[in-house]
Amino acid sequence: MLLLLASLAGCGLQPMYAGGRSGEAARALAGVRVEAIEGKSGWLMRNALNDRLAAMGDGEARYLLKVQLDDRIEGLGVRANDVVTRERRTLRARYQLVDTSSGETVLDDTTGWDAGIDVTSSEYATVAAEDSALERLTEIVADRVLARVALDARP
């Protein structure tokens, strides 16, 4: 067991969020500002990103995070009478991290996630499920974006 621990110590890997708010990742994320994002999904995404960034502290705005969203709902399960019984909501984000001092794009990447939705006979319940799925998706995609940004932003 000690041999295994000793070999891991020499591999050069270290936890990304080591040090909490004073760690390298937290300091890097504290310097990120999020540009306004269009639409309802954009409003939810920007709030999710800002909530996470606020937890890292408030630093000098060294980076600007630009996000473009693609939010789609498509029918999956279809009965013989062409009634949709299941939908998939997909949220994709293309994001760019721009260094505010040089204007250079440090990171240009995409990520996304999807969620399944049961379509019921109640239109209200279906719309509520679609909205709930969008809220969950923005949380997941925001986490994925910031995990990647933390690797490229430097304090």
Q: Which domains does the chain have, with CATH numbers?
A: 17-152 (3.30.160.150)
Q: Which two tokens stand for residue 62?
A: 């060294």
The span from the CA of 143 to the CA of 70, in Å, is 17
Please say whether the beta carbons of 44 and 135 come within 8 A.
yes
The span from the CA of 25 to the CA of 5, in Å, is 24
pLDDT at 21: 53
pLDDT at 12: 55
Residue 122's identity, in one-letter code, is: S
Mean pLDDT by 10 residues, the chain (155 residues): 55 50 70 94 97 84 94 86 88 96 95 94 92 97 95 70
The span from the CA of 95 to the CA of 136, in Å, is 19
pLDDT at 19: 47
Contacts of 19 (CB under 8 A, 6+ apart): 26
pLDDT at 84: 85
Q: Which two tokens stand for residue 118?
A: 């049961």
Please say whether the beta carbons of 136 and 115 come within 8 A.
yes
Residue 155: DSSP 8-state:
-
Q: What is the pTM of this model?
A: 0.82
Vertex 115: Cα angle to 109 and 116 (nearest 5): 150
Vertex 108: Cα angle to 107 and 113 (nearest 5): 115
The span from the CA of 69 to the CA of 41, in Å, is 8
Helix (H, G, I), strand (E, B) or coil at 91: strand
pLDDT at 1: 54
pLDDT at 151: 84
